[in-house]
Every structure is written in C-alpha cells, then in structure tokens.
Chains A and B, each alone.
Chain A
C-alpha cells in the first residue's frame, strides 16, 4: 500500500510539474528546459526556511513557490529577448550553472544535499494524507491552467505564440505575456518542489539535473503538447510504466538502467509512431509546436 501511495504522490508531483511546464513550452511556445531548477529552488527554499528558521511548513512551501517565481522573472527579463534554440541553450546553462553553485555552497548541504527536512504531515496515515494533498493540488493546478488557457488570457498567449509580430502590431506587449506565463509556470514548479521536500525529506542537486528536464519534457511530449490532459496522462504513464519493472526483483545495478531504457525507448516509440502525443490529435488547436502540424523545418 505504501508503495502505491508513493507512486500516487510521485504522479501528482509530476502532473504539477509537467502541466506547468506545458504552460511555458506548449501554450507559450518558450523553448526552455530549465523547469527543474525552479522545482529545486522551491524545494531548497522551503527546506532551508523550515530547518533554519522554523517557518511553518505551509508558509515555507509558499515562500519557495514565490521565490521560484521571482527568480524565474529575473532570469526571464534578459533571457526572453532571445528565442528558439538560444533560449534552450541559455536555459541549460542557467540550470546547470545554478546547480553547480548549490553543490559548492555549505548552507545548501553541498553535493550531499539536505536531509531531515520536516514532514508536512506525520502519523501512521502520513502517505495517505500526503497523497490526498498532492492529488488535490495537482487537480487544482490542472483546472487552473485549463481555465486560464480557455479564457481571454489564454487566447492572448496563443496569439502571441503563433505570431508574435502580428500580436505586437496589435499593440499588445508580448514580453509581458511571456514573463507572466514563465513566472507563473515556474512558481507552480516551486510549489511542487516544496511538496517534494516535505514528503521525501531529502533534496540533493543531482535530483534536478538535465535528466529531470528530459523526464518532464518527455511527459509533455508523450502526453500531447499544448493540451490540458496530455501532461497529466504523460506524467501518469511515464511514472507508472517504469515502476512495473520493480516487480521483476532485479538487482539495483540492473533495475535503474532497465527503467531508463524502458523510459527512453517509450519516448522514442512515441516520437516516431504518434508524434502528436496521446491526446494531441483530439485536442490539438495549433500547428506551431505540435509535431503533426507543419514545423519550421530542419
């Protein structure tokens, strides 16, 4: 039971992460893969506030989310002047550079990370309660993004993404929209980070590297980019399927690579067999980033 709840919690966290990432990359068309660094900022900030300053846990999680939002806005201001592959590489540089800094600082625990982080809920029903909290937050996040994207703001975001020049010619400020969705999406990642820290009670820089970026990105792609349901399905599928290997009772040295092979293999299969993602075909409303539509050409 504990194992199942653990998976439910992991799925919930990844639903928040992939949905918020989809907001940036799918809806907003901003090709950045630095999402895990905002997840890390939320996790570290919340952990440090609760350990060193005894800040109430809910407040520390919210502070982590706000800090992620502020840092993302600060990074976005200069970075969003560039676009496409350059933004992608800049985001990698920012993510890995900041992780290197975290690894070198003493108060963040260095490469060993931070342990003994207070748990958000205690008692024998800890996992069950936490699963309920994370699931509820994940549902709220998905509904919030859906409401946002179905409204006037969502239409403006899509218009900016599909034709930025025409959008600007109409007197709208594309930078403001970009900044808004980047900060909002990153803030949600920070929220997921805080929840992660206070459930697993341990954070380390290795958990937020390029592999994490790849994982969240593939959840969005496999599920269906720029659809509301896509990242939810992608997160569920890509968390649960590799976990099924655990039932084979393989040694850990074999288990991790086999899970990785299954995970990446699945992504490759989807990229070639169903490039629009699982729900992409039914909910696709755009042609810019969706594979089925006409691309920019390579």
Chain B
C-alpha cells in the first residue's frame, strides 16, 4: 500500500484534481480580499459558466475555444449584473454582512433553480465522453486532462501575479484591498476595481468549470458544493492571502487523496468539513501567521495588522 509508485500516483492525481479547486479558491479569496465579502454568489457564476458552455457545445455545436468564450461572456454578464444591481446597492445602503450573505446565497439558489428548469437535474458533462487518454511514465498514469488542468492553473496563476504586480489596474486592486477609502482619495476608481476583481475572478471560475465539466458530471447544485471547498481553503490559507489560499486548496486535495490510505473513501467528505471546523476554531486566521509576527516589530505609532477591520475577525470575548 505504501509503495513509492502508489504514493507518487496519489500525489500526482491529488495535485491534478486540486486544479479546479485552486482556481475556484483564488477567485473566492481574491473577491474576499478586495471586496471584503464572502461571495457565495460565485456559485451562481460557476453554474452560469458551466451551463453556457454546455449549451454552446451541446446545442450550438461550437468548437471548444468558442464555447469557452461563450461561457466567459455569459458568466461575465451575470457577474456584472450581481455587482451593479446587488453589491453596489448594498454598499450604498451600508448593509451588514448578513444581508449580503443572504443575497449571495439566494442569488446562487435562484440561478440553480433556473438551470434546473432549463437543463434538468440529471448530471451533465461538457462533452459526451469524459475519458482522457493516459500515458504511463515511470509507472505513473498521467492523463491528458491532468496535464491540461495543471498547465491551465499554472498559467492563470502566473498571469494573475503578473497582472497584480506590473499593471496599473492590478496595483489599484492591491490599494483598494488595503484601504478602499484611502485609495479613492488617491484617485483610484474603487467601483471599477471592484468590478475588475469580480471579472478576473470570473475568468478563474470559467476555467475551473471547464476543467470540472470535462471530468465529472454537474447538476445545478454542484457549484455550491464545489464552492464550499474553496471557502475552506480560503480560511485555511488565512484571510487576505490569495496565493496561500491556493496552496491550502492543494493541501486539502492532498489530504483527501492520501486519506484513502488510512480511512474508507466514504469518510473523505467528512474529513474536509472536520478540517474546516477545526481550522476556524483553532486557527481563525489561517494556519500560518507570518504577518502577525512582522507586526510585532512595527514601530510604535504605526498601525498593527488590522484584525478588527477583517471581515472575519474573532471577537474579544471576555
């Protein structure tokens, strides 16, 4: 059971299958970092992306790249509508986080019901066959899907890093994430940054749903289930660090993959929720806290890490 080839295979498959969770986690964590909200409406965007591509391939018979473009367009329209007619209204009203949470959950359910009405509740895949050609390399079974998934994830992450580091719009996102009011004073269009963040997240969501839809069946409720894994990874990685959240998504996938060596596979789902529950209770700011250590050395008068303004700061329970 613990032969190196088997362990390597589990590692490879775990990394490959973590790809769509990583993409969804980056989308969720990025939105949380910039917009400061737990965006469960991402499930609505995920469902839209998948069913738009499903429609493009099944009914319109479009080629793969055009189907992805169709998915991007549909998901982008839904994203923009949620921002303009939802989040902006709540921001203007200075609504509390519970109201926004209910909105994001309800909009996801609404979209799920719409797609259940249009496409039924039977599992659907983007293409009739989800079998991917497999190559044996040194005893490892490596499928084309695995390579495509890892490559897509890596390319998108690199593009995100380049965008945030070297583009003016990316720098604006960082400024808005740090302090939206101050960023506005410096002339940054905060509304535009919020929209841009959601649209960047939308690209990651479309890629994730393409990968998932070419490997597994999707029903209208699937996006919400998939999103929960992204939420867990975001919290495990520590709120405010997108890349660490992506790493946590890989870690979670590997924990699940390797757990088959120790526990029955039917308990894998429970393991994920157990990790979430324990993480929140024991490590409410993520597993690693390097920024907290750095803040200890901040000069007096300089603000410490702003845990109070964090959307998920623990209370000062006496």
Query: A214: CB under 8 A from chain B?
Result: yes
Is B266's beta carbon under 8 Å from chain A?
A: yes
The answer on a CB contact under 8 Å between A85 and B91 is no
Residue of B nearest to A291 (CB): B99
Q: Is the CB of A257 within 8 A of B113?
A: yes
In the complex with contacts A86-B312, A90-B280, A104-B266 CB distance below 8 A: yes
Report if A298-B36 is in contact (Cβ < 8 Å); known contacts: A90-B281, A100-B273, A268-B103.
yes
Q: How many residues of B are counted as interface, with CB atoms below 8 angstroms from the partner's CB atoms?
A: 55
- Interchain CB contact under 8 A, B117 and A85: no
Docked pose: A264 CA to B110 CA in angstroms: 6
Residue ID in chain A nearest B35 by CB atoms: A298
Q: How far is the CA of A267 from the CA of B47 in the complex (A)?
A: 20
- Set B37, B102, B280: member contacting A218, Cβ < 8 A: B102
Chain B 83-113 near chain A by CB (<8 Å), digits 1 or 0: 0000101110111111111110111011011
Which listed residue, B96, B110, B117, B317, touches A268 by the CB 8 Å rule? B110
Q: Which residues on the A side are within 8 Å of B276 (C-beta)?
A: 89-90, 93, 97
Q: Is the CB of B228 within 8 A of A85?
A: no
Q: Is B113's CB under 8 angstroms from A260's CB?
A: yes
A90 touches B113 (CB 8 A): no
Please measure, in the bound complex, the distance between the C-alpha atom of A89 and the C-alpha atom of B273, giving whole angstroms.
11
**B163 on interface, CB distance cutoff 8 Å:** no
A241 within 8 A of B: no
Are the CB atoms of A264 and B106 closer together than 8 Å? yes
> Given B90, B277, B311, which contacts A93 in the complex, CB threshold below 8 Å?
B277
Q: A271 and B109: CB pair below 8 A?
A: no
Question: Any chain B CB within 8 A of the CB of A141?
Answer: no
A298 near B94 with CB under 8 A, answer: yes
A295 contacts the other chain (CB 8 A) = yes
Which residues on A sit within 8 Å (CB–CB) of B312?
84-86, 89
Within 8 Å of chain A (Cβ to Cβ): is B270? yes
Q: How far is the CB of B167 from the nearest CB of chain A, in Å? A: 26
Check if B277 sits within 8 Å of A90, measured CB to CB: yes
A93 CA to B231 CA, complexed, in Å = 10
A223-279 contacts to B, CB under 8 A, are 253-254, 256-258, 260-261, 264-265, 267-268, 271-272, 275
B63-91: which residues lie under 8 A (CB-CB) from chain A? Answer: 87, 89-91
For residue A96, CB closer than 8 A to chain B, the reply is: yes
Chain B contacts for A217, CB-based, 8 A: 102, 105
Q: A214 and B106: CB pair below 8 A?
A: yes
Across-interface contacts of A267 in B (CB, < 8 A): 102, 106
CB-contact partner of B228 in A81, A96, A175, under 8 A: A96
- Shortest Cβ gap from B41 to chain A (Å): 12
Q: How far is the CA of A289 from the CA of B110 in the complex (A)?
A: 24
Q: Are A78 and B95 in contact (CB under 8 A)?
A: no
Contact A81 B224 (CB under 8 A): no
CB pair A291 B95 closer than 8 Å: yes
Say yes or no: A298 contacts B97, CB within 8 Å.
yes
A257/B281 contact (C-beta < 8 A), A82-B315, A164-B315, A298-B100 known: no
Contact B103 A271 (CB under 8 A): yes
With A and B bound together, what is the CA distance between A246 and B235 in angstroms? Answer: 42
CB-CB under 8 A for A253 and B96, given A81-B314, A260-B113, A268-B110: no
Is there contact, CB below 8 Å, between A296 and B109?
no
Question: B116 an interface residue at 8 Å Cβ cutoff?
Answer: yes
Asked if A159 CB lies within 8 Å of chain B CBs, one says no
Having A81-B315, A258-B113, one finds 20 other A-B pairs with CB under 8 Å, namely A31-B98, A83-B317, A84-B312, A88-B101, A89-B280, A89-B312, A92-B231, A94-B273, A96-B273, A101-B270, A164-B315, A210-B105, A211-B109, A214-B105, A260-B109, A271-B103, A295-B93, A295-B97, A297-B94, A298-B87
Show 18 A/B contacts (Cβ-Cβ < 8 Å), sorted by A.
A82-B281, A82-B314, A84-B97, A86-B312, A90-B280, A104-B266, A175-B318, A253-B120, A257-B113, A260-B112, A261-B113, A264-B106, A268-B110, A271-B99, A271-B103, A294-B94, A298-B87, A298-B97
Q: Which 3 A-B residue pairings sit nearest by Cβ, starting from the closest?
A: A97-B273, A260-B113, A295-B96
Tell me the A residues contacting B by CB distance below 8 Å. Answer: 25, 31, 78-86, 88-90, 92-94, 96-97, 100-101, 104, 164-165, 168, 173-175, 210-211, 214, 217-218, 221, 253-254, 256-258, 260-261, 264-265, 267-268, 271-272, 275, 288-289, 291, 294-298
